[in-house]
């Protein structure tokens, strides 16, 4: 069977599986005022995806559902989006950031412990950003001191996605302040139930509590939870962030592409779409197709070891602008009616049906995974070869 035939067969198989397994009422359990319903629905759907073998197509083939080719990965993302399946918001960090970091940088013991645990529902969060170290992540001040077989950690993290529900945390700490900022950072795995860990949800302007801040007071973390080498955590962190600028963008872009019809619906249907608005929708559609093509090239180059420095930053910046423009257009097309509905669906991405919520929420992509300003600096310095002194 050719690769193309194999991908077609996978699509047909997944469509049949979705017809039998997709819960029709999942949105009813994920309204913004129903956190217990959101958690239960996410966990139940994740368990079904794992059982079906569709949760981890991007993982190594040694794990259930893994070892899929890039066309097969995209096919799975497309079919899940086309069926209106819920995004795995609660397990987003687990499936991408944590898993890919462990696969590329973790020890055999760490992979053996955590990858199967993720498949059983272990939830991860990120402990990267701090109140004084967001875009300039290398300025982080959370301190870790090694004492025997333990690191003693104190400090504060912020903007940790769904950190209030996490079991484990990808944690960046400072273990050396004597040299360059990036040189004294260490990457640790932290059990969120450790003594001294306090988590507080952050209520956003949208009414959502998607993020949390984490306070660490003399938290003990075993040295065996070190990823990579001490003081070499900056390199590991780039692997974590790279997964967000690659694999995760594949899924997000596919869902965006399959939500184009919502723009037409926002205008009241095709018959009410004026020429100017139609051109705006076509422009968005063309930008989505361009991003899909660029992502396919990136992932192909990554798997063959030919990825260029800065490529992922270009795509992340493009997606951030596209998601903002997409939701802004939907908001404009729907007009005053967009202010009528204040309800929203947790973790539904562009499928909430609430343009105001989606528009406000789109601004997170200007910051998440490295701010737009940081991406522009990376592109200027590493792609265009501009001197650091010229960057602002």
Query: Rounded to whole angstroms, how far apart are CA atoms 120 and 117?
Result: 5
To the nearest 10°, report the CA torsion of 378, 383, 389, 392: -50
CA neighbor of 257 nearest in space, from 225, 286, 222, 219 = 286
DSSP string of 311-364, one letter each residue: HHHHHHHHHHHHHHHHHHHHHHHHGGGGGT----BTT-GGGSS-HHHHHHHHGG
The full set of domains in the chain, from first to last, is: 3-88 (no CATH), 124-231 (2.40.110.10), 245-390 (1.20.140.10)
Contact 94, 240 (CB under 8 A): no
Helix axis angle for 70-82 and 275-303, nearest 10°, is 140
C-beta atoms surrounding 58 within 10 Å? 26
- E strands along 92-149, which residues? 124-127, 143-147
Tens digits of residue pLDDT in 360-390: 888 888 877 677 888 888 888 888 888 876 5
Query: Rounded to whole angstroms, how far apart are CA atoms 191 and 168?
Result: 5
Q: Tell me the torsion sign for CA atoms 84, 90, 95, 97.
A: positive
**Residues known to be catalytic:** 244
Query: Rounded to whole angstroms, how far apart are CA atoms 278 and 267?
Result: 10
- The per-residue pLDDT string of the chain (392 residues; one tens digit each, 9 = 90 and over) reads 777 888 999 999 999 999 999 988 887 777 767 788 889 999 999 999 999 999 999 898 888 888 998 888 888 988 888 888 888 889 999 999 999 999 999 999 999 999 999 999 999 999 999 998 876 788 899 999 999 999 999 999 999 999 999 999 999 999 999 888 889 999 999 999 999 999 999 987 767 788 899 999 999 999 999 999 999 999 999 888 777 666 678 778 888 888 888 888 888 887 788 899 999 999 999 999 999 999 888 877 876 778 777 888 888 899 999 999 999 999 999 888 777 666 666 665 556 668 888 888 888 888 776 778 888 888 888 888 888 765 44
For residue 384 the two structure tokens come to: 């265009």
């Amino acid at each position: 069977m050719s690769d193309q035939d194999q991908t077609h067969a996978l699509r047909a198989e997944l469509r049949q599986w979705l017809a039998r397994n997709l819960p029709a009422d999942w949105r009813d359990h994920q309204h913004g005022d129903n956190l217990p319903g959101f958690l239960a629905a996410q966990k139940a759907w994740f368990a079904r995806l794992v059982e079906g073998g569709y949760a981890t197509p991007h993982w190594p083939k040694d794990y259930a559902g893994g070892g899929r080719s890039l066309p097969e990965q995209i096919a799975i993302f497309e079919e899940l989006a086309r069926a209106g399946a819920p995004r795995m918001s609660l397990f987003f960090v687990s499936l991408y950031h944590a898993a890919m970091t462990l696969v590329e940088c973790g020890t055999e013991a760490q992979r053996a412990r955590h990858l199967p645990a993720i498949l059983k529902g272990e939830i991860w969060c990120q402990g990267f950003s701090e109140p004084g170290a967001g875009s300039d992540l290398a300025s982080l001040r959370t301190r870790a001191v090694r004492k025997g077989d333990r690191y003693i950690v104190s400090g504060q993290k912020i903007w940790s996605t769904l950190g209030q529900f996490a079991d484990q945390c990808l944690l960046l700490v400072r273990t050396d302040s004597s040299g360059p900022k990036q040189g004294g950072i260490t990457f640790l795995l932290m059990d969120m139930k450790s003594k001294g860990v306090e988590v507080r949800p952050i209520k956003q302007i949208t009414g959502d509590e998607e993020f949390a801040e984490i306070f660490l007071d003399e938290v003990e973390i075993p040295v065996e939870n070190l990823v990579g080498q001490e003081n070499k955590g900056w390199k590991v962190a780039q692997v974590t962030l790279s997964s967000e600028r690659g694999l995760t963008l594949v899924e997000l872009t596919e869902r965006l592409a399959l939500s184009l019809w919502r723009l037409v619906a926002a205008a009241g249907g095709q018959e009410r779409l004026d020429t100017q608005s139609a051109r705006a929708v076509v422009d968005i559609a063309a930008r989505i197709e361009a991003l899909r093509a660029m992502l396919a090239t990136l992932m192909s180059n990554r798997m063959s070891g030919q990825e260029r420095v800065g490529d992922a930053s270009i795509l992340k910046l493009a997606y951030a602008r596209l998601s903002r423009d997409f939701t802004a257009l939907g908001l404009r097309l729907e007009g005053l009616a967009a202010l009528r509905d204040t309800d929203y669906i947790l973790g539904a991405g562009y499928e909430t049906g609430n343009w105001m919520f989606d528009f406000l929420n789109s601004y997170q992509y200007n910051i998440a995974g490295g701010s737009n300003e940081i991406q522009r600096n990376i592109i200027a310095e590493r792609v265009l070869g501009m001197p650091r002194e010229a960057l602002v």
